Amino acid sequence: MLVRTFVTILYLVAVGIAIVLQFFVPGLAVVLLYALLGWFIISIFVYRLPVMGRPVFGRGTSAAPAAPAAVPSPLQSNPEGTPLTFCAFCATPVEPGTPVCPVCQHPIPVF
């Protein structure tokens, strides 16, 4: 579990407790409102800290390192492009190489 997840759980618990306290101790409503508002503002900065991406409970040294993700090969592109057989705007079928749609007059893109 990441620190970010742990702080979010604590955050939700605190909001739940504040809501319950407002029903049982209405005199604290203003104080709880300002406390939650302050927490909202502080959390904007807290969630951006680098420590938020670390695990809460440290992993032992026996844990195997993660395997690197497979990098896909780049797509091969055709220098002339691939003409569409339909209009991308109105879906009218057109012959390959048609520069402009005969129905809606939009240019036919080449990918």
pLDDT tens, position by position, 1-17: 788 888 888 888 988 99
Residue 42 in domain:
yes
Q: What angle do CA 28, 31, 35 make, to 5 degrees?
A: 130
The predicted pLDDT at position 26 comes to 85
* 49 and 8 within one domain: yes
Residue 98: partners with Cβ closer than 8 Å, 6 or more residues away: 83, 108
**What tokens appear for 36 in the block?**
């939650």
For the stretch 57-92, pLDDT in tens is: 766 444 555 666 666 666 565 666 777 889 888 999
Q: Tell the residue number behind the tokens 């029903």, with chain if given.
A: 23
Q: Which domain holds residue 16?
A: 3-53
- CA distance linking residue 104 with residue 111, whole number of Å: 20
- Radius of gyration from C-alpha coordinates of the chain: 29
Q: In the chain, what percentage of residues exceed pLDDT 90?
A: 9
What is the tally of structural domains in the chain?
Answer: 2
The predicted pLDDT at position 61 comes to 43
For the stretch 28-58, pLDDT in tens is: 888 888 988 888 888 888 878 887 778 877 6
